[in-house]
Structure 1
Amino acid sequence: MNNLDKVRVLLPHWLEHNQGHSTEFLQWADKLAAESPETTALLRSAVEALQAAQHALTEALHKAGGPLAAPGHEHHHHHHSTPR
């Protein structure tokens, strides 16, 4: 498998992982809104940056030729626990 094919396998995972962090940051921003407006604003700013990265990663996947499943590899998920 050449490097471009490897990136075509990795990019969908990176996109999913990035989206998961965006969601998690927004959840924490909501929890902190009354307690720390400055922290909330920074978390929301981080989400905006991740959205820009998401756009760039999506475009990279498109330019690379779209997703490619890795032979013999099943998709896996990272689970992040969110303290309550």
Structure 2
Amino acid sequence: MNSLDKVRVLLPHWIEHNHGHGAEFLQWADTLTADAPEIADLLRSAAESLHAAEHALHEALSRAGGPLAAPGHAHTHGGCHHHH
């Protein structure tokens, strides 16, 4: 598998992971709005940045030729979760 094919496998995972973190930032921003509005604003700003990054990742995937399943995998690691 060449480098471009590897990226076509990885990009969908990166997009999903990025999207999940953005949603988590917004949930915490809502939680903190009353007690720490300045932190809530920063989390919303971070979520906006992730949204821009997600757009660039989608464009990269499109230009790369779309998603390519990893050998031996029928999915793009949709169940992969990271706990922080």
TM-score, structure 1 normalization: 0.90
2:67 alignment partner, SS class: coil
Runs of 4+ in 1 over 3 A off after TM superposition: none
Q: 2: CA distance between counterparts of 1:55 and 1:23?
A: 15
- Report the CA distance between 1:72 and its aligned residue: 0.8
TM-score, structure 2 normalization: 0.90
RMSD across aligned positions (CA): 1.5
The number of aligned residues is 82
Q: 2: CA distance between counterparts of 1:59 and 1:41?
A: 27
- Name the aligned partner's letter for residue 37 of structure 2: P
Unmatched runs of 5 consecutive residues or more in structure 2: none
Pairing partner for 1:78 from 77, 80, 83: 80
1:70 alignment partner, SS class: coil
